[in-house]
Amino acid sequence: MDTIEIVGGNRLEGTVPVSGAKNAALPIMTAALLADGEHVFRNVPNLRDVHTMTRLLGRLGVEASFENGEVHVSSSGEIEPTAPYDLVKQMRASVLVLGPLVARCGRAMVSMPGGCAIGARPIDQHLKGLEAMGAEVELHHGYVEVTVPGGRLKGSDVTLDFPTHTGTENLMCAAVLAKGRTTLMNCAREPEVEELARVLNKMGARIEGAGTSVISIEGVDSLHPVDHAIIPDRIEAGTFMVAAAATAGDVLVKGIGFEPLEAVIAKLREAGSEIEREGDGIRVVGSEVIRPTDIITQPHPGFPTDMQAQLMMLMCLAKGTSHITETVFENRFMHVSELNRMGAEIHVNARTATVHGVSRLEGAEVMATDLRASASLVLAGLVAEGTTHVRRVYHLDRGYEHIEEKLGPLGADIKRVAGNA
């Protein structure tokens, strides 16, 4: 397996483009199951998870391909509504085919999801919503089997116990072809949920309220294919912003606005960075002195859990003590031990990490445990004295499009070394 090698100490300067959002692209790709014809999705990042979803769609009986930032999905005729374990285990987002399959075929069999080490992430809210719309759900041998008597879901009122991102998206896809009106309450409000609703409406759906906690969907009889460009990845953008802040750099993060990043921007400003809009991007100028900042992760529009590890790394260099509380996932501090190996001083008690700032980090051999943890270790390598080797970078490749090729032109001494474990 590849390793990322970083020699720390360089100030980052320049312009870095933001790729399309993986967390928007994946549900949109599954939405193509809802309509026959050829769908074209542009600005799709070249990531492992995107290729996994492309293969999964192929197994379901549709033609799907990725080339030069575009995904083409062509569906006509019979769909095989079974998502097998060998693909679903690789990526938890595979469960997003459930809603479209049940809506389109009246039945689905999907392996229980895997692909994530940061908590159980149950899908009970997805199933609860489908049952409210008239589906029957059974669990057999590690698979969820969903059938709809009569073949078509019925509109219903569904209140989610918590604002699950994928649950909101799955139920929204299920409801667009249901008979009557569905009202989803306590919905996730992430920009990626809004983007999915935007695409579904372009396909002929009738959805209102996406981006708020209440979404109303009036079911329609059929949808048509769509051509759509994916929104920029706010988490990739936020990661580059932290890189600029940590290295006291001056970086223009190009292709994204303030709106999806307001919570991150607020915390980086608290930590001492200067952040301004500039053209179609965000300029970040880091401070020589990083101030300690407390963070509590929350569903959008609160501070995103997907930026927790990156901000923790920044707080390792702060002049003082910070407290970082993780409320979204129960097992998302696995990067702490690796940061401590680099000289950080972090102590975890239940869901709160106390970070005592240190004067410097030291390069070390470290191991990625999940996607965002791997990003925090790359960022730590940028500021550490000496050389850092980040192993298990397949985690990184699930969510960052050639991160070494984006950080290198900014002045980072970073390269990918092929073939090491």
- Give the catalytic positions in this structure: 116
Q: Compute the distance between CA of residue 342 and CA of residue 312 in angstroms, rounded to an integer.
A: 13
Sign of the CA dihedral with 180 first, then 124, 94, and 46 last: positive
Please report how many Cα atoms fall inside a 13 Å half-sphere around the Cα of residue 147, on the Cβ side: 4
Sign of the CA dihedral with 184 first, then 189, 192, and 195 last: positive
Nearest of 25, 7, 16 to residue 399 by alpha carbon:
25
How deeply is 386 buried, as exposed, middle or buried, from its count of CB atoms within 10 A (0-12, 13-18, 19+)? middle
Tell me how many helices (H) and strands (E) the chain has. 14, 24
Distances (CA, A) of 183 to 19, 109, 163, 213: 33, 25, 14, 10
Range 163-176 burial, b when 16+ CB lie within 10 A, else e: bbbbbbbbbbbbbb
Nearest of 210, 211, 224, 223 to residue 182 by alpha carbon:
210
Q: Compute the distance between CA of residue 162 and CA of residue 188 in angstroms, rounded to an integer.
A: 8
Sheet of 352-356: strand order equals 295-296, 321-325, 352-356, 345-349
Nearest of 147, 125, 129 to residue 137 by alpha carbon:
147
DSSP assigned state of 289: S
**H or E stretch at 275:** strand 274-278
How deeply is 288 buried, as exposed, middle or buried, from its count of CB atoms within 10 A (0-12, 13-18, 19+)? exposed
Rounded to the nearest 10 degrees, how much is the dihedral formed by the CA atoms of 209, 160, 110, 22? 50
The DSSP result for 156-185, as a single string, is: -EEE-SS--HHHHHHHHHHHTTSBSEEEEE
Q: Compute the distance between CA of residue 161 and CA of residue 24 in angstroms, rounded to an integer.
A: 23
